[in-house]
Amino acid sequence: MTNFEKAYKKLVRFEGGYVFDKDDKGGETYKGIARNFNPNWEGWKLIETSKEYYGEDFAEHLHESEYLEWEVQKFYKEKFWDVFLCDSLPYQIAEEIFEISVNTGIMRASIILQTVLNLLNRNGKFYPDIKIDGKVGPQTLSTLRLCLQKNSEKLLFNVLNILQGAFYTELMLNNPVYEKYIGWFSRIEILK
């Protein structure tokens, strides 16, 4: 099993099947893929076909499609895993960055990562601060490698999770309707 497959297997514990929540800006979602943000994802065609064939009970049958599952995995690998070059990172860090990016989006995950990298550089003694711009690029990825040379994976992992939790807290404080998503906090892990 590849590292991506292991990370994906862990991720889908959090990402349900088909959901259409009126309070979710993403609209319809399937295994966490939001239709409003990803209208051209090929899986929507399969879901529409299932709706036509099975009617109201279509969602119960989506798990039967191996092709739909393949489309989900392909989407996550290309849109999230590969963006951060996760195959070149230690597994635990790759899995964490992947999970954060799926749930919060690439830009927010990048901001969290860039912030953590700046926090862990000992005021520039280990490496210079980088611009916090929410973009994944060569500077962020090379600084991540420097950070891993100077700090433990455990420290990086834990601080990523702390900022992820702070992001969820801020969302809920600013928009109480999000309090119904307290399950987000189950994504936070701290290594001892």
Task: Name the nearest CA neighbour of 147 among 121, 124, 186.
Answer: 121
Say if CB 116 and CB 172 are below 8 A apart: no
pLDDT at 44: 96
Residues 6+ apart with CB under 8 A from 170: none
pLDDT at 2: 83
pLDDT at 144: 96
How many CA atoms lie less than 13 Å away from 140 in the CB half-sphere? Answer: 22
pLDDT at 63: 85
pLDDT at 168: 96
Show the low-confidence residues of the chain (pLDDT under 70).
1
pTM: 0.91
CB atoms within 10 A of CB 19: 16
pLDDT at 114: 98
